[in-house]
């Protein structure tokens, strides 16, 4: 299987590490923002072709699939381009920055008869999968899922300190991953949603703090705090508060209420994810995180975004004389 990789940033590197472990898979072309970065990336990973022109990369002989790790605003148009050329696509969330673009991508995949998969990596993370399994088998009853997503950002750089050509977004990037967990884990797309945001950064032009709240019709609550202003450990911290136990999840590990490690299978999430993408292509089936299965998440984000944009009345309690 021959793959075209678009993007040479942090996510491109992570995909390359995972793809190198899969038998019969070869990255034959890399698309980059600059010629220099593409040539350097291709030399580092032994990729025979690089270009700043995505269409040229997609059209390389024998390319079966495209993995997009490019700026979010490009995702819809790039995905539709690749699908129109008969290629399978794995695209970094957030499937562009709005619900209509996400729907366009799903429609294009159906029309092309090709796989379109979203890299909701947390769906492939061992601890989150274990929580979902226990809920499905009835041994864990979730009351409240609490998420903290923390970074410290003053310049437009990625996790490795490299300059970005696009501005990150707390809701449609980091929030998208976590919001997706709620309907996926509970197998429940119907939530009441609410959100609020702090002031925009004067240079980056994005809100640096957000809170999100959701409630499932099945009962469980979802609460999330996100910040680009936090000094300290960065990343996503998850707390699953249930009837039987409280579990804390960070990256690919999980502990119980006493701080004891919960035994897991140990498979890295990105490895499992790229195996799922290539396996779905080989087996001619929908992948576990198909774009169509992620539309409910995009609808929830759309509702949260609208709630954040709405004017909030100033309620004041008055004590009667």
pLDDT in tens, 135-194: 999 999 999 999 999 999 888 877 667 777 777 788 888 899 999 999 999 999 899 999
| Same-domain pairing of 170 and 181 | yes
Q: Where are the beta strands (DSSP E) in the chain?
A: 2-6, 26-31, 50-51, 63-68, 88-91, 116-118, 142-150, 191-197, 209-216, 221-227, 235-242, 246-250, 253-255
Residue 96: its pLDDT value, please?
Answer: 55
User: Is residue 182 in some structural domain?
Assistant: yes
Tokens linked to 270: 């990105």
The percent of residues above 90 in pLDDT, for the chain, comes to 78
Please give the Cα distance from 81 to 186 (Å, whole number).
Answer: 34
What is the average pLDDT value for the chain, to the nearest integer? Answer: 92
Residue 6: its pLDDT value, please?
Answer: 97
Q: Specify the range with the lowest mean pLDDT, choosing from 23-27, 30-34, 164-168, 197-201.
A: 164-168
| Same-domain pairing of 260 and 203 | yes
Contact status, residue 268 vs residue 274, Cβ threshold 8 Å: no
> 228 pLDDT exceeds 50?
yes
Q: Binning pLDDT at 50, 70 and 90, where does residue 97 land?
A: low
Sign of CA dihedral 103, 77, 45, 169: negative
| Same-domain pairing of 138 and 232 | yes
Residue 290: its pLDDT value, please?
Answer: 96
Tens-digit pLDDT profile for residues 260-276: 999 999 899 999 999 99
User: Is residue 294 in some structural domain?
Assistant: no
User: Is residue 192 in some structural domain?
Assistant: yes
Residue 298: its pLDDT value, please?
Answer: 92
User: Is residue 316 in some structural domain?
Assistant: no
> 321 pLDDT exceeds 70?
no
Provide the CATH number for the domain around residue 78. 3.40.50.720
Provide the CATH number for the domain around residue 165. 3.30.360.10
Calculate the CA 215 to chain-centre distance.
21
| Same-domain pairing of 218 and 140 | yes
The percent of residues above 70 in pLDDT, for the chain, comes to 94
Tokens linked to 283: 């087996």
| Same-domain pairing of 147 and 254 | yes
Residue 311: its pLDDT value, please?
Answer: 53
Give whole-number Cα distances, 19 to 31, 116, 141, 303, in Å.
16, 17, 36, 35
Question: Which residue(s) pair with 210 in the sheet?
Answer: 197, 226
| Same-domain pairing of 62 and 147 | no
| Same-domain pairing of 89 and 203 | no
Contact status, residue 6 vs residue 77, Cβ threshold 8 Å: no
Please give the Cα distance from 4 to 91 (Å, whole number).
Answer: 12
Contact status, residue 104 vs residue 79, Cβ threshold 8 Å: no
Question: Which residue(s) pair with 68 in the sheet?
Answer: 6, 91
| Same-domain pairing of 30 and 53 | yes
Please give the Cα distance from 95 to 72 (Å, whole number).
Answer: 7
Residue 164: its pLDDT value, please?
Answer: 74
Residue 309: its pLDDT value, please?
Answer: 86
Report the 3 state secondary structure along 113-170: CCCEEECCHHHHCHHHHHHHHHHHHCCCCEEEEEEEEECECCCCECCCCCECCCCCCH
User: Is residue 49 in some structural domain?
Assistant: yes
| Same-domain pairing of 188 and 73 | no
Contact status, residue 141 vs residue 243, Cβ threshold 8 Å: yes
Give the pLDDT mean for 212-228: 96
User: Is residue 315 in some structural domain?
Assistant: no
> 231 pLDDT exceeds 60?
yes
Tens-digit pLDDT profile for residues 113-127: 999 999 999 999 999
| Same-domain pairing of 116 and 14 | yes
User: Is residue 239 in some structural domain?
Assistant: yes
Taking the alpha carbons at both ends of the chain, their separation in whole angstroms is 77
Give whole-number Cα distances, 240 to 130, 149, 191, 228, 252, in Å.
12, 15, 17, 23, 15
Give whole-number Cα distances, 320 to 37, 125, 317, in Å.
68, 54, 10
Pairing of strands 209-216, 116-118: unpaired
Q: Binning pLDDT at 50, 70 and 90, where does residue 313 land?
A: very low
User: Is residue 176 in some structural domain?
Assistant: yes
> 315 pLDDT exceeds 50?
no
Residue 154: its pLDDT value, please?
Answer: 86
Backbone phi and psi for residue 309, each to the nearest 5 degrees, phi listed first: -85, -20
Contact status, residue 250 vs residue 265, Cβ threshold 8 Å: no
Give the pLDDT mean for 205-218: 94
In this prediction the pTM is 0.90
| Same-domain pairing of 131 and 112 | no
Give the pLDDT mean for 91-99: 72
| Same-domain pairing of 72 and 136 | no
Q: How many independent structural domains does the chain possess?
A: 2
Residue 94: its pLDDT value, please?
Answer: 58
CB within 8 Å of 55: residues ≥ 6 apart: 81
Please give the Cα distance from 251 to 84 (Å, whole number).
Answer: 35
Domain that holds residue 151: 122-265+302-309
Q: Specify the range with the lowest mean pLDDT, choosing from 51-65, 68-82, 299-313.
A: 299-313
Contact status, residue 173 vs residue 272, Cβ threshold 8 Å: no
């Amino acid at each position: 299987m021959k793959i075209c990789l678009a993007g040479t940033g942090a996510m491109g590197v992570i995909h390359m590490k995972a793809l190198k472990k899969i038998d019969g898979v070869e990255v034959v072309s890399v698309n980059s923002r600059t010629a220099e970065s593409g040539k350097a990336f291709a030399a580092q990973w032994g990729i025979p072709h690089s270009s700043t022109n995505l269409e040229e990369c997609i059209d390389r002989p024998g390319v079966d699939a495209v993995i997009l790790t490019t700026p979010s605003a490009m995702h819809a148009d790039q995905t539709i381009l690749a699908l129109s050329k008969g290629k399978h696509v794995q695209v970094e969330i957030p499937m562009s920055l709005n619900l209509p673009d996400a729907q366009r991508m799903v429609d294009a995949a159906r029309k092309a008869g090709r796989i379109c998969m979203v890299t909701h990596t947390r769906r492939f993370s061992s601890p989150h999968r274990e929580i979902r399994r226990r809920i499905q088998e009835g041994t864990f009853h979730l009351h409240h899922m609490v998420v903290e997503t923390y970074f410290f950002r003053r310049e437009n750089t990625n996790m490795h300190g490299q300059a970005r050509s696009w501005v990150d977004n707390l809701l449609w990037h980091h929030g998208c991953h976590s919001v997706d967990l709620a309907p996926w884990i509970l197998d429940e797309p119907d939530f009441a949603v609410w959100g609020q945001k702090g002031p925009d950064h004067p240079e980056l032009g994005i809100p640096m703090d957000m809170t999100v709240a959701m409630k499932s019709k099945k009962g469980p609550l979802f609460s999330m705090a996100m910040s680009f202003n936090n000094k300290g450990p960065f990343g996503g911290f998850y707390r699953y508060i249930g009837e039987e136990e409280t579990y804390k999840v960070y990256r690919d590990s999980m502990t119980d209420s006493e701080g004891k490690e919960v035994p897991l299978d140990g498979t890295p999430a990105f490895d499992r994810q790229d195996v799922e993408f290539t396996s779905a292509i080989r087996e001619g089936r929908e992948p576990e995180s198909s774009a169509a299965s992620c539309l409910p998440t995009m609808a929830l984000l759309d509702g949260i975004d609208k709630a954040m944009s709405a004017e909030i009345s100033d309620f004041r309690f008055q004590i009667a004389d």
